[in-house]
Amino acid sequence: MAGELTLSPFLSDALVILGAAGIVIPVFARFRITPIIGFILIGVLVGPYGLGSLVERIPWLTYVTISDPGALAPFAEFGIVLLLFAIGLELSFNRLWQLRRLVFGLGALELLIIGGALAAVLGYTGPLDGTAALALGFALAFSSTAIVLPISGTRTPVGRAALSMLLFEDIMIVPIIFILGALAPNASAEGWSGLVDTLWQGALVIAVLLIAGRFALPRLFAQAARTKSPELFLAASLLVVIGASLATAAVGLSPIVGALIAGLLIAETEYHSEVEMIMDPFKGLALGVFLITVGMSIDLVDIGANIGALALAVVGVLAFKALVTGILLRLMGARRSTAAETGVMMASPSETTLIVLSAATAALVVDFETAQFWQTVTAIGLTVTPLLAKLGRVIARRVDSVPQLPGEEESDEARTIIVGGGRVGRLVADMMRTHGQAYVMIDSDPDLIARAQREGYRAVFGDAARGDALVRLGVESAPAVVLTMDEPVLAQRLVGKLRREHPDLLIVARARDTIHAAALYRAGASHAVPETLESSLQLSEAVLVDIGVAMGPVIASIHAKRDEYREQLERDGGLAEKPKLRTSSAEA
């Protein structure tokens, strides 16, 4: 009918996804429940087995359901790619090398033992031949990178153990799929030769990415940083991750391998914090799309019809994987609490399980009905993974009552954050090094950061006033934040933001003059140091010493005058009657 409003399926699906994100994230955050469960439940509701099954009888439901679940698959895959990219950003080649024993020791043992044991059990108890049992066993042995790592992180003992096993699993996806193809009833020798070709071509592509990335990425991001354009920085980040993913996919490797390498390469540059901050919202939304697709694969009617068999399969797989993983971690020297929590959290199957099952079905290794049953088991396992993580933490507290030592959970030490990499910032860093204090310097000028790094300073690129750049540098545990930039308005805004978010934080700010210092005190600075005051005091010290006055009385009078001016500035800032903010121990 003329003038009738129509909405394209793409826009309708986008409306459903964005609406789900807008509802799920704040509601579940309010009740302190991970939004992972919310996205999966939304997928169940708007999928073909939920409201989508009523569209023929109630046409307007088209606008609140996903019209084509298969069309979301590329976006779900992109979510996994961005997740592995983010994992790479949190790592470095040095950290990855430190994890090599866990990746190729613990990771290999976990996959081989669980996969082999599950294959043996499935082959012995079910009507499956050896190849089908092997395919199902190794498919179920995978754990969910997409859900586990956002819950565990990568810096805790549990996170490091989970990351090691998940990295090995991600590496083994392609060989396992090729082996299944080679074992298929209609397979030929080309399957094995294809695996060999993929391996040597993949090694070549990875080598090219590593060499080219070392030289090209710092220059690419330096140019993007000089433009001061977040849009260009985002475009450069997407170019790198998508380009690397396509390069590895072109030779038969998984695109997540390329994404991980891209993240590792950028982690070696001073721009990794800024890239991580810019990419984070896209990663979260794309991951939400993946979780919605998981929910859409759950058929509640089918679950109700096979509740007994499904419950037995889910509980059996979860219990067996948790037990084996926990035992392996204990044998590798992990604490009981770490082994228990990691084992329970890693127990569910994975999004990779769905990929391996699809490949096995296409190769006629596993029949359709069997694959569909285990796909449902996998979807249920993915849904309960956040609950398993909570259960793992409860069990960990019960099996190991010894409290963690300070710093055991977080490998990075608390450090003072210096905002500004210019002359004043480097001087503050020099004094921190002289007295053995940890620090990190941040600046949005790539040239200043490059110079600071050449001179041996610990410096990273980032805009301290935007997003959560300081959070990523550990402002929660920082002894102090020192603002050294010569930008009065920006300094005042940043002081106010820091004081609102961190009431007890020691904030020391450089001020242009006494008026600016008073404004910084009003904004919440612990100390504001005017350049004009310090210059005058240094001039006075120099002339008094040179005309013959003893050094001791001169220094004492300088300190007294500085304290007098500071008290005056605090009164001018309206802080005379307010309690003192936390100060450094050196001043006490």
- Residue 236: which CATH number? 1.20.1530.20
For residues 141 and 245, membership in a common domain is answered with: yes
Same-domain status, 99 and 22: no
- Residues 218 and 265 both lie in one domain: yes
3-state secondary structure of 308: helix
Confidence of residue 322 (pLDDT cuts 50, 70, 90): very high
b/e burial code for range 73-96 (CB count within 10 A of at least 16 → b): eebbbbbbbbbbbbbbbbbbeebb
Q: Could you give the CA distance from residue 4 to residue 21 in angstroms, rounded to a whole number?
A: 29
From CA 191, how far away is CA 178, in angstroms rounded? 7
* Mean predicted confidence (pLDDT) in 301-323: 89
Task: Give 92's contacts (C-beta < 8 A, 6+ positions apart).
Answer: 264, 267, 268
363 with 259, same domain? Answer: yes
pLDDT band, residue 583 (cuts 50/70/90): very low
Task: Determine the average pLDDT of the residues in 172-196.
Answer: 64
Say how far residue 397 (Cα) sits from the centre of its chain: 25
Band of pLDDT at residue 486, cut at 50, 70 and 90: confident
DSSP E strand boundaries for 468-505: 480-483
Instruction: Return mean pLDDT, the chain.
Output: 77
pLDDT-based confidence at residue 19 (cuts at 50, 70, 90) = confident
The predicted model gives 118-143 an average pLDDT of 84
Q: Pick from 399, 432, 459: which residue ends a domain?
A: 399
Are 166 and 305 members of one domain?
yes
Question: 531 pLDDT exceeds 80?
Answer: no
Alpha-carbon distance of 88 to 166, in angstroms, equals 13
β-pairing, 506-511 vs 439-443, is unpaired
Across 144-148, 356-360, 377-381, the highest mean pLDDT is recorded for: 377-381
- Distance, in Å, from the CA atom of 117 to the CA atom of 139, rounded to the nearest integer, reads 12
169 HSE (CA, 13 A, CB side): 29
Same domain, residue pair 115 and 243? yes
Q: Nearest 5°: phi and psi at 518?
A: -60, -40
Cβ-based burial of 109 (10 A; exposed 0-12, middle 13-18, buried ≥19): middle
* Better-predicted residue by pLDDT, 7 or 384: 384
Provide the greatest CA pair distance for the chain.
101
| pLDDT confidence tier of residue 390, bands split at 50, 70 and 90 | confident
Helices 255-267/157-183 angle, 10° precision = 150
Q: What is the mean pLDDT of residues 349-374?
A: 79
Sign (positive/negative) of CA torsion 395, 120, 136, 49?
negative
* pLDDT, average across residues 269-283: 76
Cα separation, 288 vs 549, in Å, equals 71
Q: Is residue 337 part of a domain?
A: yes
User: Is residue 176 assigned to a domain?
Assistant: yes
User: Is the per-residue pLDDT at 315 higher than 90?
Assistant: yes
Q: Which amino acid is at 201?
A: Q
Kindly give the pairing relationship between strand 506-511 and strand 480-483: parallel
Please tell me the distance from the alpha carbon of residue 487 to that of residue 497, in angstroms, as a whole number: 15
Query: What band does 543 get if pLDDT is binned at 50, 70 and 90?
Result: low
Asked whether residue 79 falls in the same domain as residue 39, the answer is no
> Do 268 and 201 sit in the same domain of this protein?
yes
How many other C-beta atoms can be found within 10 angstroms of the C-beta atom of residue 310? Answer: 18
- For 308-312, the CB contacts below 8 A with 24+ separation are 309/373, 310/373, 310/376, 310/377, 310/380
Give the pLDDT score at 4: 47
Cα–Cα dist 116/133, whole Å: 9
Domains: count for the chain: 2
Q: Is residue 228 part of a domain?
A: yes
Domain for residue 472, yes or no? no
**Of the residues 39, 64, 89, which one is the last residue of a structural domain?**
64
192 with 335, same domain?
A: yes
| Same domain, yes or no: 179 and 34 | no
C-alpha distances in Å from residue 223, one per residue of 274, 442, 446 = 14, 18, 9
Q: Which residue did the predictor score with more confidence, 413 or 148?
A: 148
Helix axes 255-267, 73-90, angle to 10 degrees: 30
In a domain, 80, yes or no: yes
Q: Is residue 493 part of a domain?
A: no
Whether residue 138 sits in one domain with residue 269: yes
The better pLDDT of the pair 37, 528 is held by 528
Claim to verify: residue 46 and residue 83 sit in the same structural domain:
no
Whether the CB-CB separation of 289 and 85 falls below 8 Å is answered with no
pLDDT at 195 over 70: no
Residue 132: its pLDDT value, please?
84
Per cent of the chain over pLDDT 70 is 82
pLDDT at position 25 is 67
Domain membership of residue 571 (yes or no) is: no
Fill in the DSSP letter of residue 138.
H
Q: Mean pLDDT throughout 495-517?
A: 85
- Within 227-331, residue ranges assigned H as helices are 230-250, 255-267, 272-296, 300-305, 307-331
Residue 416: strand pairing partners = 439
User: How are strands ordered across the β-sheet holding 416-419?
Assistant: 459-461, 439-443, 416-419, 480-483, 506-511, 527-530
Residue-number span of the structural domain to which 140 is assigned: 75-399
Rounded to 5 degrees, φ, ψ at 478 are: -70, 135
Query: What is the rounded average pLDDT of the residues 312-319?
Result: 92
Between 560 and 258, the higher pLDDT residue: 258
Q: What is the pLDDT of residue 220?
A: 86
Which positions ≥6 away from 357 have C-beta within 8 Å? 135, 136, 139, 366, 371, 374, 375, 378
Please identify which residue in the block is written with the tokens 């302190």.
32
Domain termination residue (choose one: 355, 376, 399): 399
CA neighbor of 457 nearest in space, from 427, 477, 480, 483: 427
Q: At residue 36, does pLDDT exceed 80?
A: no
Indicate if the pLDDT at residue 50 is higher than 70: yes
Q: What is the pLDDT of residue 318?
A: 93
Q: Which region among 280-284, 477-481, 537-541 has the lowest average model confidence (pLDDT)?
A: 537-541
Structure-token pair, residue 114: 């669980």
Question: Has residue 556 got a pLDDT over 70?
Answer: yes
Greatest mean pLDDT among 160-164, 207-211, 424-428, 557-561 lies in 207-211
Residues 6 or more apart whose CB falls under 8 angstroms from that of 45 comprise 51, 295
Domain contains 16: yes
Residue 415 neighbours by CB under 8 Å, 6+ apart: 437, 438, 439, 440, 473, 474, 478, 479
Closest among 484, 581, 498, 493 to 534, alpha carbons compared: 484
pLDDT tens figures, 401-458 = 543 433 333 434 678 899 988 888 888 888 888 778 889 998 877 778 878 888 888 8
Measured between alpha carbons, how far is residue 540 from residues 536, 543, 554 in Å? 6, 5, 9
548 Cβ contact list (under 8 Å, min separation 6): none
Do residues 296 and 43 make contact, with C-beta atoms less than 8 angstroms apart?
yes
